[in-house]
Amino acid sequence: MIAATIPRASGLGLKSRHCAEILASRPRVGWFEVHPENYMGAGGPPHRRLAAIRRDYPLSLHGVGLSIGGEGPLDAAHLARLRTLVERYEPGLVSEHLAWSSHEGVYFNDLLPLPYTDGTLARVVEHVDRLQEGLGRPILLENPSSYLTFEESTLAEPAFLGEIARRSGCGLLLDLNNVFVSSQNLGFTPESYIDSFPLDEVGEIHLGGHATEPDGLLVDAHDRAVADPVWALLALVLQRTGVLPVLVEWDNDVPAWPVLHREAVLAQRLLDNCRHARAG
Amino acid sequence: MPAQAELAGALLAADRPAPAGLLPAGRFAVHRNNVVAGLVEALGAAYPAVRSLVGERFFRAAATDFVRREPPRSPVLIDYGGGFAGFLGSFRPAAGLPYLAPVARLERAWLLAYHAAEAAPLPIAALAQMPEAVLGRCRLVPHPSLRLVVSSFPVVALWAANTGRGPHEAVDLDRAETALVVRPEELVVVESLTPGMAAFVATLADDQPLGAAAEAAMRADSGFELGPALGRLFALGAVVGLRQSSFEGDSR
Amino acid sequence: MNDSTRTSTAMLAGALAAAIAGAGGFASPAHAANEKCYGISLAGQNDCAAGPGTTCAGTSTVDYQGNAWKLVPEGTCQLYGTSTEEAKYELPGDREGSLEPLARDVPA
């Protein structure tokens, strides 16, 4: 197994259908990321593939199922499953979402929105604390794609996330496609969001494609290439943060490997530009 | 303010209005759609043969009903949909397709085998090392992935034809089939068993000794041949251990 | 030891000897051979897209609110026979589906 550390380079969301090609050709990709929930079976081909990938590439675990924003207590069984995977695959990064997805034992398979209030802030911080204690390591928390807001919200999302990071010691995962999707759906500029975002806390950047509904609504569908305005946001953020791990997600209508790989090459080009600009 | 209980309740109930306090209220439909369409898609991935059998429109409609009735109880979605075969079996609009539920049971067995724990298959030579006198009392430990799906329909042929693995023309609905599902290594193997072999494997899987399994097989099928049956079972990688009796421990 | 046990033991030993002698000769199972031929790049029909998985993505596939009570199965099951009598079900209560996509709000 090579070193766990995620490099400040571009990586890709790992799709099982690409594994054979990746293992045969060992392409230049900085690192891979998976959803741990898809590797929580006892055995079988998913684990065989992931173990083979992990021998050659650093890995990040990007959870979708812990329901960190849930009103109930953190799911101890799910946390234990996650810990088992962390011990087995030694990921360089572990991340989760600012969202809830379970209520009273029912799992909704969606990243559901939270009101940004002092009450939810305290709850999320408590859950992040428990998660970090359970894993014995810090995590990154990702900003959501939003379609609506809550009347009761009193805090802006960047400030809310910054406060979670300050109180819990977690880092942040800045998803620039989510910023763009939310900005269009809720009517703000992505630049204003980034201006107020606690960029010092960012440990990873996500990019992905979004779908545009006939009525103009943007859906965070991860079903196509990264959109031009999202690439522009990456260039903007990298100017301020310097190079960071940058990951491209493509989860629906997954393309052939060369098409996905091209997204990583594009992201790497922006990272290289950033490095040169800073060195020069 | 909408508590999560209220939001949760409205996510799975299409006829319930969006909870108050959301701006714009109509956007709640995006999440409602994500939840249901996402889970319907998950079922479609787990039950490709059922989907092919009934067509996309009918599948989505039936799966939507199931999702609203039995949403997941765990974030580990690879386990979701265990109740789908039972649901289809009592689903009135599918009453004309009595083979649908058995095909769903086979697809579920396939998925469980796919994600089952690993265990190293035992070569048949290990059985030959047992003293002849205790052979009949010997129990075979099945691979953790091993499943049997018993049906009065040609469940293997229907499944194969509807997952691109076999021809459509060959399916004769009047034929009963029992499927053996096992994944000793990378691939999930699905085999149609003769009645004798089906009784043999079912008895062994029920933790009965080899002698009892052979007798059950011969009762089910007078033409049952033990040698080829044992050879096949070991060749499939379906056996991972031997026990001389339930009290003498595991010789794996 | 009674007769049936003795017969059984002898039979088992003989069968086992025959099975071991022929152990190398078993063909690989038909479906496994097929799956190898397909390779693992063919999505949906093999181990690669096996079963449900989670993603952190939303979906642009719109769920239809309509239900199966108004629909007749129309996939490959028609090759094997669907009872058209059975397809005319009674609608329980006033259950009816319109098969209209979910309404989504126009952005503000």
Nearest to A78 among B22, B27, B75 (CB): B75
Write out chain C in H/E/C secondary structure. Answer: CCHHHHHHHHHHHHHHHHHHHCHHHCCCCHHHHHHHHHCCCCCCCCHHHCCCCCCCCCCCCCCECCCHHHCCCCCCHHHHCCCHHHHCCCCCCCCCCCCCECCCCCCC
User: Which residues does chain C have within 8 Å of residue B114's beta carbon, measured at their own beta carbons?
Assistant: 47, 50-51
Per-residue confidence (pLDDT) for residue C82, from 0 to 100 = 54
pTM: predicted TM-score of the whole model, two decimal places = 0.91
8 Å CB contact between B252 and B240: yes
> Could you report the per-residue pLDDT of B170-188, keeping only the tens digit for each?
899 999 999 999 999 988 9
Cβ contact (<8 Å) for B124 and C61? no
Share above pLDDT 70 across residues of chain B, in percent, rounded to a whole number: 96
User: A197: which residues sit within 8 A by CB, 6+ positions away?
Assistant: A143, A158, A161, A162, A172, A174
What are A188-224's pLDDT values in tens digits? Answer: 999 999 999 999 999 999 999 999 999 999 999 999 9
Residue of A96, A106, A117 to mutate, interface with B, max B Cβ within 10 Å: A106
Query: Does B7 lie at the interface with A, CB-CB under 8 angstroms?
Result: yes
- Confidence grade of residue C42 (pLDDT, cut at 50, 70, 90): very low
pLDDT of res. B23: 95
Nearest Cβ partner for B186 among C47, C54, C65: C47
Whether residue C60 and residue A37 make contact (CB cut-off 8 A), yes or no, is no
Distance CA B68, CA B64 (A): 6
Give the least confident one: A76-85, A247-256, B67-76, C4-13: C4-13
Residue B121 confidence (pLDDT) above 70: yes
Average model confidence (pLDDT) for chain C? 59
CB within 8 Å of A156: residues ≥ 6 apart? A116, A196
Q: How far is CA B57 from the centre of its chain?
A: 24
Interface of A with B (CB under 8 A): 37-38, 40-48, 64-67, 70-71, 75, 78, 81, 100-110, 112-113, 115, 147-152, 185, 217, 219
Q: Where are the alpha helices (DSSP H) in chain B?
A: 4-11, 28-46, 48-54, 56-69, 84-89, 100-114, 125-128, 155-161, 195-205, 210-220, 226-235
> What whole-number distance in Å separates Cα of residue B36 and Cα of residue B73?
14
CA distance A122 to C82: 57
A222: left (phi > 0), else alpha (psi -120 to 50), else beta? left
What the block records as the tokens of C36 is 């190898």
Range C42-59 average pLDDT: 64
Gap between the Cα atoms of B194 and B176, Å rounded: 10
A133 in any annotated domain: yes
Instruction: With respect to residue A1, please indicate whether it lies within any of the assigned structural domains.
Output: no
Domain of A264, in residue numbers = 10-279
With CA atoms as reference, the chain C residue closest to B103 would be C77
Give the whole-angstrom CA distance, residue B85 versus residue A132.
39
Eight-class DSSP state of A226: P
Measured in whole angstroms, how far is the alpha carbon of residue A185 from the centre of its chain?
Answer: 20
- Does A2 fall in a domain? no
Residue with tokens 């998660």: A131
Confidence of residue B89 (pLDDT cuts 50, 70, 90): very high
Q: How far is B12 from chain C (nearest CA, A)?
A: 11
| DSSP structure class, residue A110 | E
Q: In this structure, which amino acid lies at residue A232?
A: A
pLDDT tens for each residue of A239-273:
999 999 999 999 999 999 999 999 999 999 999 99
Contact (CB<8Å) C57/A222 = yes
Q: Is A243 left (phi over 0), alpha (psi -120 to 50) or beta?
A: beta
Nearest to C32 among B33, B54, B189 (CB): B189
Q: Considering its fold, how many domains does chain A have in total?
A: 1
Query: Where do the structural domains in chain B lie, given as residue ranges?
Result: 1-97, 117-252
Taking contacts as CB-CB distances below 8 angstroms, the residues of chain C near B22 are: none
CB A214 within 8 A of CB C106: no
**Phi, psi (deg, nearest 5) at residue B23:** -125, 125
What separation in angstroms does the CA of B23 have from each of A148, A187, B19? 5, 12, 10
| C-alpha neighbours within 13 Å on the C-beta side of residue A44 | 27
Residue C91, min C-alpha distance to chain B (Å): 9
Contacts of C3 (CB under 8 A, 6+ apart): none
* B26 → chain A, closest CA residue: A148
Contact C86 B214 (CB under 8 A): no
The position carrying tokens 């992040």 is A128
| Domain annotation covers residue A184 | yes
Check residue B114 and give its pLDDT.
Answer: 95
**Residue that is written with structure tokens 């979670």 in the block:** A164
Query: Radius of gyration (Cα) for chain A, nearest Å?
Result: 18
Contacts of B218 (CB under 8 A, 6+ apart): B196, B224
Say how far apart CA A237 and CA B235 lie, in whole Å: 58
Arithmetic mean of pLDDT, A45-72:
97
Does B189 contact chain A (CB < 8 Å)? no
The span from the CA of A74 to the CA of A67, in Å, is: 7
Distance from the A276 Cα atom to the nearest Cα atom in chain C, whole angstroms: 33
Residue C91: the pLDDT is: 40
Q: Taking the mean position of all CA atoms in its chain, how far away is CA A211?
A: 18
Residue A3 lies in a domain: no
> Rounded to the nearest 5°, which phi and psi values hold at B73?
-110, 10
CA–CA gap between residue B177 and residue B105 (Å, rounded): 13
pLDDT of B165: 86
Contact C52 B91 (CB under 8 A): no
- Is the pLDDT confidence value at C32 over 80? no
ipTM above 0.90 for this complex: yes
Between the CA atoms of A20, A26, A32 and A34, what dihedral angle is there, to the nearest 10 degrees? 10
Q: Is the pLDDT of residue C49 over 70?
A: no
pLDDT given at position A68:
98
State yes or no: pLDDT of A57 exceeds 60: yes
Torsion on CA atoms B50, B54, B55, B57, rounded to nearest 10: -110
| DSSP string over B23-91 | ESGGGHHHHHHHHHHHHHHHHHHH-HHHHHHH-HHHHHHHHHHHHHHS--SSS-GGGTTTTHHHHHHT-
Residue B169: predicted pLDDT: 84
How sure is the predictor about C27, in pLDDT bands with cuts at 50, 70 and 90? very low
Q: Which residue has the higher pLDDT, C9 or A161?
A: A161
Ranges of each domain in chain C = 67-91
Structure tokens belonging to residue C10: 């002898």
Please say if the pLDDT value at position B133 is more than 70: yes
What pLDDT score was predicted for residue A254? 94
User: Is C60 within 8 Å of A219 when comparing Cβ atoms?
Assistant: yes
Type of residue at B248? E
Beta carbons of A192 and A224 less than 8 angstroms apart: no
Of A150, A149, A21, the closest CA to residue B1 belongs to: A150
In 3-state terms, what secondary structure has residue B109? helix
